[in-house]
Structure 1
Amino acid sequence: MAFALPVWLAVQEKLLARDEEDWPAPNCFDEFDDEALEKTFHLTRACLAFIRDAVRGRMKKYIPKKPALSLDVMLMVALNYYAQGRSSDDVLQRVGLSQCDCPAVISTVSGVIAGMSDQFISFPLLQEAKANVASKIESMCGIPDVLGVLAPAHFKIKTNEKDACRAFVNTLGYASVVSQVICDSDGNILSVEKLHRWFSIFSDFVLIVLYCVSPKGGKGYHLSKHVLTPVSEPANDNEIRFNKAHAKIHNVMRTTLGYMKRRFRCLKQLGFAQEGSLDKKSNIIKTCCVLHNIAKKFSVPSPPLTDDKDSVALCPVLAMST
């Protein structure tokens, strides 16, 4: 993400284009003081205002008819769920909803925000942007021509049916959904897609050298000039130095996912899933990536570390702890 904050604010103007008569906009986030906002939503007031305006513009296109609930109510319930991993009783009492009402609201808002990923998650395409990203990564770890850190990140789910459970269980022994995540050296999410999508799109670009952060060499990926993995059994000083450099870039992804996991506790456990519900879970993951990038642009501080031992895995053989 190489865009400066003014550019993002300019994007906001394009996203709005709203009719206030159709979308009355009393801001119920104003009912919270700054401390309560950060505790409840893990976001600052300025960041929430930006998200609210951006979502309003998108919501009009996503839901042509005026919904039964106001935008603020829907957004408040969803953002609270992303931050806490469940809908807080205090928030539900404020908006007059029950826990049973939440899944439909969260699904709707997640679909809207995930659809905004083209505006807020961008892989470098222009030569200057590529060179800028690669230069920062080279300065950090010493390896040139690297455009991003790649990880197949697993997020825990629950399953009710044994057949579905077998379909979702990974080699760590728990059920999960997986997204291919790419970030830059600053922890901005550049892509969150289905596995291997970027390899086909950027196969002709020499500068596309993505890291697969697997300690066993990323055997699930087609090894090519576009994927750079650790040396599984280093035999000389050069290979040892390369693995140390690789470990530095590896830690960027670990730190980024740990940061997201603290801000969006829903990523620790995405709840129950069945065979046909993966799109909803994927939308939540993509939504959290969009919100992560927005939070970084507004320099929202990271929530404090917790003693929780739940983990988000980078790949089937490597669990991440915060």
Structure 2
Amino acid sequence: MDIFEEIDYYDNLFPVDDSNRRLNFSVPLRYLRDVQDPYHCENFKKRYRFSQDVVKSVILPLIDQDLRKLCNRGHPIAPELQILVCLRFYATASFQIVCGDLLCVSQPAASNIVANVSRLIALRQRQYIKYPQDMVSHRAQFAQLGRYQEYPGLRNVDGAIDCTHVKIVNTPGVEHHEAFRNRKSYFSINVQAVVGPFGNFMDIVARWAGSTHDSRIFQMCLLRTKYMQQQHTGYLIGDSGYPCLRFLLTPVGTPTTHAEQTYNKVHIKTRNVVERTFGRWKQRFPCLSRGLGNKLITVSNIIVACAVLFNISLVTNDMMPSYEEENEGIEEETNNESDSPGTTDGFAFRNTIINNYV
């Protein structure tokens, strides 16, 4: 092949149109990518833990304007896509680079999205995580939960309180990081929550290190101050890890009488709602059970954001399939103390209630 034949050979490799005329390469080409719309994918709810209607009509309007103000330079990622990136991270607890690749977003962008979206959702805490206005029917539902045979449930119960640990994958980047190592020898944040009769979060504290005892968290939280100032007139139900107070009832460590045994059974039936809620919460958002490797402030925001989203799912009745709740149980921690400390008023108030079950 001489030089002219070689030129003709390579020249014929250029594309030509139907009329055998050379294409005009001075006109820029438009590249179209065959990318599937993430809002119309198969099994949307299984991938993002919410239905399309709830994401578009409730979650997106909740932070849409704030996201647009936060990301308003260059070529920002659409808020619709940022919501899905964050929800996919909650639903899989996978590496951020994987969650980003699934929606064509880089790892640094995915990291910023998770941090920003979690913070904005967590800021809606007062809107969705609060005590109900109708406390009469609220307490009546708790009384129904605690019914045992012919014995009625406990009256005037505001909520069930307990703590659960959210694992931290990496070593916390703080000076006293060993404080985050809990009694099971892994790093975590000890999360305190008050739950209503329907499994809704009414109060949450997600900033204490894993080694902090449950009673210490309650002693330092704002909720205890509100009860001491009688802003709430009912009382809470807690396990033996909490002190027995006038506004916090705990079980009897070593029940000897029939009344004490009956009280303990009613108490356990009432308090079990918080254990079940923790289980469903971590099933819906597996990142809470598999562990988080984000910064500590982001981890706290993710925990609160998942609580807000969980309450949204209850308000919108957007439940997950029942088989997932039955087959993916979460083992909760229990306290095995003989009895809890408390005040004289607390023990006297508990004894008054116990005597009603004689």
Quick check: 1:156–1:312 contact (8 Å CA) kept in 2?
A: no
Match of 2:288 in 1: 267
Cα separation, 2, equivalents of 1:167 and 1:74: 34
Return the structure number with greater relative CO, CA threshold 8 A, min gap 6. Answer: 1
Cα offset, 1:116, TM superposition: 1.0
Against the structure 1 CA distance between its residues 161 and 179, is the aligned structure 2 distance closer, same or farther, given a 3 Å change threshold?
A: closer
Cα offset, 1:98, TM superposition: 3.3
Cα separation, 2, equivalents of 1:230 and 1:186: 22
Provide Cα deviations, 1:166-203, integer angstroms capped at 9, x if missing partner.
Answer: 21112233221022111111101111125332010232
Provide Cα deviations, 1:23-58, integer angstroms capped at 9, x if missing partner.
Answer: xxxx9543324xx21121121122112211222144
- TM superposition score normalised by structure 1: 0.76
Instruction: Give the letter for the 2:93 counterpart.
Output: G
Provide Cα deviations, 1:131-163, integer angstroms capped at 9, x if missing partner.
Answer: 221111012210011000111221111233797
Against the structure 1 CA distance between its residues 98 and 262, is the aligned structure 2 distance closer, same or farther, given a 3 Å change threshold?
A: same
Quick check: 1:122–1:190 contact (8 Å CA) kept in 2?
A: yes
**SS of residue matched to 1:147:** strand
Match of 1:10 in 2: none
Is 1:207 equivalent to 2:214 in the alignment? no
Cα separation, 1, equivalents of 2:39 and 2:160: 38
Is 1:282 equivalent to 2:271 in the alignment? no
Is 1:144 equivalent to 2:155 in the alignment? yes
Against the structure 1 CA distance between its residues 240 and 205, is the aligned structure 2 distance closer, same or farther, given a 3 Å change threshold?
A: farther
Cα separation, 2, equivalents of 1:144 and 1:173: 39
Match of 1:236 in 2: 257
Is 1:157 equivalent to 2:168 in the alignment? yes
Match of 2:315 in 1: 297
Cα separation, 2, equivalents of 1:28 and 1:176: 37
Against the structure 1 CA distance between its residues 120 and 57, is the aligned structure 2 distance closer, same or farther, given a 3 Å change threshold?
A: farther
Q: How many residues align?
A: 277
**Any unmatched runs of 5+ in structure 2?**
1-35, 147-152, 207-216, 338-358
Out of 178, 182, 188, which is 1:170 matched to?
A: 182
Out of 54, 67, 71, which is 1:47 matched to?
A: 54
Quick check: 2:93–2:287 contact (8 Å CA) kept in 1?
A: yes
Quick check: 2:166–2:189 contact (8 Å CA) kept in 1?
A: yes
Against the structure 1 CA distance between its residues 105 and 182, is the aligned structure 2 distance closer, same or farther, given a 3 Å change threshold?
A: same
Instruction: Give the letter for the 2:52 counterpart.
Output: R
Cα offset, 1:205, TM superposition: 4.4
Instruction: Give the letter for the 2:225 counterpart.
Output: S
Out of 132, 136, 140, which is 1:135 matched to?
A: 140
Against the structure 1 CA distance between its residues 288 and 161, is the aligned structure 2 distance closer, same or farther, given a 3 Å change threshold?
A: closer
Cα separation, 1, equivalents of 2:330 and 2:259: 36
Match of 1:109 in 2: 117
Cα separation, 2, equivalents of 1:104 and 1:287: 15
Match of 1:19 in 2: none
Cα separation, 1, equivalents of 2:314 and 2:95: 24
Is 1:257 equivalent to 2:262 in the alignment? no
Cα separation, 2, equivalents of 1:293 and 1:309: 20
**Any unmatched runs of 5+ in structure 1?**
1-26, 318-322
Quick check: 1:156–1:176 contact (8 Å CA) kept in 2?
A: yes
Instruction: Give the letter for the 2:179 counterpart.
Output: A
**SS of residue matched to 2:291:** coil
Quick check: 1:259–1:302 contact (8 Å CA) kept in 2?
A: no
Cα offset, 1:87, TM superposition: 5.5
Cα separation, 1, equivalents of 2:275 and 2:89: 23
- TM superposition score normalised by structure 2: 0.69
Match of 1:16 in 2: none
Give the % identical residues: 23
